[in-house]
Structure formats: structure tokens, C-alpha cells
Structure 1
Amino acid sequence: MAADSRTRGSGITLNSCAKIVKLPRGDSVICYAGNTIYGYPLLIQAVSAVDSFYKSRSRAATLDALVGHLKRFFTDAVSNRDLYSGPRETAEEINRIEVSFIVGGYCWLDKKFKIYTLKYDSNCRSFVVIKPKKVVLSSGEEYNFSIVGDDASKFNWKLKGILSKLSKVDMEPLKFLDSVIDDANYPSIGGNIQAYRVYQHLNASPLPIIKDGVVKAFGRNLLTYEILDLAAWDLSNDKLTK
């Protein structure tokens, strides 16, 4: 899972924020896109909701059950909010719930990787689960992916075109994100690339990114004394390096 690190809310833009978080159960991660006013609090509360519920924390609950738990939790959280009653234009922006989440992980029951999109539906006033996009690779293998955020429809179409020409998918989605992260045509996408990897042994860990010789993780440049005992992905030569 990969994301940019730009967040916007209340007229403030930050370019070094974590958008991907490992869930306490270890086998999955979650990220958000959209209005930071809703996205960040719900992201933090998602970690708490998983950690405080034994079945979700211990992985006794499958990924399907976990996503159902988060869907109900998110819906309840936004339903209990107090509406902003300031100036009309500002109130419309703040009270409008525009936020989406991606949950990705490895399911021990089905023995395969799964990805889910949770998006708020203003018509039914609740979060709904959206199935991932599907693309058939040149090898005939089917590949699932999800994109959330601004211009998601356009990026879905572009990435699908890239993937359909491949026989096997490696880091192409990450490279695609790198190609648009500093594009002036997409001002809401920016900052540093951040990424996480989920393994079949039911563990997840951050994937540091090396870009222009600088090591980045958690949406920011690592400080000179911060040394992570993890391999990093070097965008300049497309390979893992220590």
C-alpha cells in the first residue's frame, strides 16, 4: 500500500503526514484520503477500535469481519458529530463528509491478500464497502487494486492501462504514484511517498523509500540519526537496498 503525504484541512496544508497505519492485529494496514477533519480522527480511532476488541485484535475475526466492524464504527462516529454552524460556505465544506479508507491485508482463512475500500455514502448516511478494481494482465492473471482520493477515476483508468500490459505486477503502482505526486495538475497530491508491505506470515512493516538519495518513511524524510532496520526501495534503480 502506498500513499502521498499531503493533508489539507481548515486552510492548512502539511506535506509530511502519515496516511498509512498498521492495525494492531498485524496482518493488515489502513490508509485514508479525503477531508483531513474526518480522516485523521477516524484513522486513529480505527487503531483503537481494533486494539480494544479481542476478536479483531487477535485475528479471530477475519478480514471481512474486521472491515464490517470498521464500517459500523466509522458510521457511528460521524453520526454522532456536532455540525459546524459558522459561515455558510465554510459550514458546507466542513459538514460534508468526504473521506475514504483502504484496508489491505492477508486473510488467514481464505489464504490470500485482500483489499477493501470504505467510503461514506451521503445518500444512505453510512460508510459502504466498495469492491476493488480488476484488471487482467497480459499473462491472463487477474489483479485487484484500489485507489482513493481526488481524480481516483482518472487514475483507475490510467493504472489499469499500465497493468494490463504486464505479465506480472511488482512495484508499478508505486512508480505510478511517484509519477503524479509532484505533478502541478494534481495539487492535492504531494509531499513524500510512503508505503507499507503486508506479508503472508501475517505481519506488516513500513517500506522506506529512497528518492533523490534521501530516505523517506511515514510520509517524511528520516532524520540523520534515524536508522530503520529495514530494506528500502530505491526509486532511482527500482530495487531493494539496505
Structure 2
Amino acid sequence: MTLSLAWIRKVNTVEELVIATDSRLRFGCAWDCSPKIFPLSRGDCAICFAGNTMYAYPIMEQIRNAITMYPKADSRALDLCDLKGHLLRVVRNMESLIHDLPKGKKEKDIPDALFILAGYSWAKAEFKIWILYYNAAHKQFEFKRPSMLHGNRIAIIGDDVGDAQRQILNLAREREIPKKNGFNMEPFEVLRDFCRDPKRHHIGGAPQVVKVYKHLNSMPYAVYWPNKESNGRSLMGRPLLEYEMANYLMLDPDSLKTEDYVPAPAKSRKSGLNLQDDAL
């Protein structure tokens, strides 16, 4: 599975929404470059997932399609809170189309996928975070608000959720963060440590980070990985090639400082790298 989080970051009087996750998929092996956060075309929100990709990827792709094909949704004329209802109907309709079950099987499997939908509502003038999950009792997908942690609402889905909650709470207490003052980057710090922990087999790869701002724009952040000293650069979970440029800020996962993107030092020309090798 994975570990995905969304929280409202407060720095002095400024608020921004942060969504972060790891980059590992497992299907008999580990693949540490898988995109799990998808900023949506309207700019004011993003969606991420945890769980079975058999359910997750079709749902996320159709959510993206449902927004881009509907001008009011794509332009943000449809507020995020109203968009949520539209997307729920889309997902429920998709789930109803599962059929042709294996012979002898009477019921569908419960879709073991969870999603976080988060963004900024211009109608409510506040950030919104919801968890989309399958309610087995009601036999349908539903949205719910995430629980409170240290007086702040934070969504955490995937593996080791209880452990992540405890460690975030410990950091808040150690740093004497007043309740309801909001987290800074403590949830990311816990995710970072989980990604580096070889014992957490279902969580790994470079962290992915997307921020949503009150000016109704979202932006991914590139991350130095496994640390800044390594000069490794990752964006949305994928290590960037030596010659790739990213028009985003770089995040140092340890100092938590950001800086303009600077290409990694070029390797020796003896490496044989030739950008024309694949030219048609």
C-alpha cells in the first residue's frame, strides 16, 4: 500500500494545504517511482490514493476526465464542495459497473482503495480535506472528514497510520506546538523517516509533495533524495535524469528549506550520455 497525508500548514498567519505520499507500489516486487498524487486540472485541488491500484487508477483517471470534460468544473465555477458531490456520483456509477464475477462468486470484493481529495473552497473561503472510502455496510463509496490530531484536522491513509499519528503527535508535543495552531512540516518529517526505514516494506521511494494555495493554484515540489548531499533529485516519485530540468522549487527533506531548481553536476562525458542517441 502506501502512506499518504494531507494537512493545513500554518506559518505565522499564512495557511497552505500540503499533500504528501511515498512512491512505492508492490505487486510481487517493489517499484519506487510510482505517481500517487494527481493535481487536478482546475488548479485548486489534488487527489491521492492508498491501496489496490486495480481500483485506484481507473477511479483517479475518470475523476480527472470528469473534471476536464465539464467546463464549470474545470474553470472552478463549480466550487470544490459541489465538485465533491459530482465526483462521488461518478465513482459510485463506476463501482456499479463491476460485473462478470468469477464462476461461483456471488458478491463483488470490497474495493480496497482509499483516496484523499483536498483543496481550497472559494465558496467557503477555507481549505477542505476529505477521505473517499468504500463503506462496506452501505455498499457504496462515501466521503468523510478526517479525524482531529492535536486539535488539527489531518488525513492519513494507507499503512502504519496509527504509528504515523503517534509520531506526528510526539513531534508536536516535543516542539510545544499549541493545539489548533496547525502543523508545520511535522507530517512530512514522519513520512520522510518512514520512507527511509527499510523495515517498512510497503512504504518507500522518494516522498512526493504537492501544495495548494489560497490563490487557487497547486504546485508540486521536487525533492532531494535520499538527501541533498547525494544530489539526487526526484519529482512526483521519479528520479530525474541528469539532463532534466524541473520548473519547480527543490525541497531539502532534512532542513525542510526550499530553493530554486539547479541541475545536478554533470557526470563525466565518458559516461556516453548522448541526447541524440534516440533522435528519429
TM category (shorter chain) comes to 0.7 to 0.9
The match for 2:253 is 235
Quote the Cα distance in structure 1 between the aligned partners of 2:98 and 2:200: 30
The match for 2:55 is 38
Decide whether the 8 Å contact of 1:72 with 1:127 is kept in 2.
Answer: no
215-224 vs 182-191, which moves further: 182-191
Decide whether the 8 Å contact of 2:110 with 2:134 is kept in 1.
Answer: no
Matched ranges for 1:3-18 at <5 A: 3-9=21-27, 11-18=28-35
Aligned length: 233
Letter in 2 for 1:19: K
Runs of 4+ displaced beyond 3 Å: none
Normalising by the residue count of structure 1, what TM-score does the alignment of the two structures yield? 0.87
1:54 corresponds to 2:71: yes
Structure 1 residue 37, shift from structure 2 partner: 0.8
Structure 2 residue runs of 5 or longer lacking an equivalent are: 1-18, 261-280
The match for 2:267 is none
SS at 2:156 equivalent: coil
Structure 1 residue 195, shift from structure 2 partner: 0.7
1:216 corresponds to 2:225: no
The match for 1:152 is 161
171-180 vs 148-157, which moves further: 148-157
76-85 vs 119-128, which moves further: 76-85
SS at 1:201 equivalent: coil
Normalising by the residue count of structure 2, what TM-score does the alignment of the two structures yield? 0.76
Matched ranges for 1:189-208 at <5 A: 189-208=203-222
Who wins on radius of gyration, i.e. which is larger? Answer: 2
Letter in 1 for 2:251: W
1:114 corresponds to 2:128: yes
Decide whether the 8 Å contact of 1:135 with 1:143 is kept in 2.
Answer: yes
Letter in 2 for 1:197: K
30-39 vs 105-114, which moves further: 105-114
Decide whether the 8 Å contact of 1:27 with 1:204 is kept in 2.
Answer: yes
Q: Deviations over 1:141-184 (max 9, x none)?
A: x4221011122233234323433542452221111101111324
The match for 1:103 is 117
Letter in 2 for 1:143: N
Q: Deviations over 1:78-107 (max 9, x none)?
A: 22113552899xxx9x93410010011111
Identity fraction in percent: 32
Query: Which among 177, 184, 191 is matched to residue 166 of structure 1?
Result: 177
18-27 vs 118-127, which moves further: 118-127
Quote the Cα distance in structure 2 between the aligned partners of 1:126 and 1:185: 34
Decide whether the 8 Å contact of 1:120 with 1:128 is kept in 2.
Answer: yes
Quote the Cα distance in structure 2 between the aligned partners of 1:104 and 1:206: 14
Using a 3 Å threshold, how does the CA distance of structure 1 residues 101 and 215 change in structure 2: closer, same or farther? Answer: same
SS at 1:146 equivalent: strand
Decide whether the 8 Å contact of 1:83 with 1:95 is kept in 2.
Answer: no
Structure 1 residue runs of 5 or longer lacking an equivalent are: 137-141
Query: Which among 68, 73, 82 is matched to residue 85 of structure 2?
Result: 68
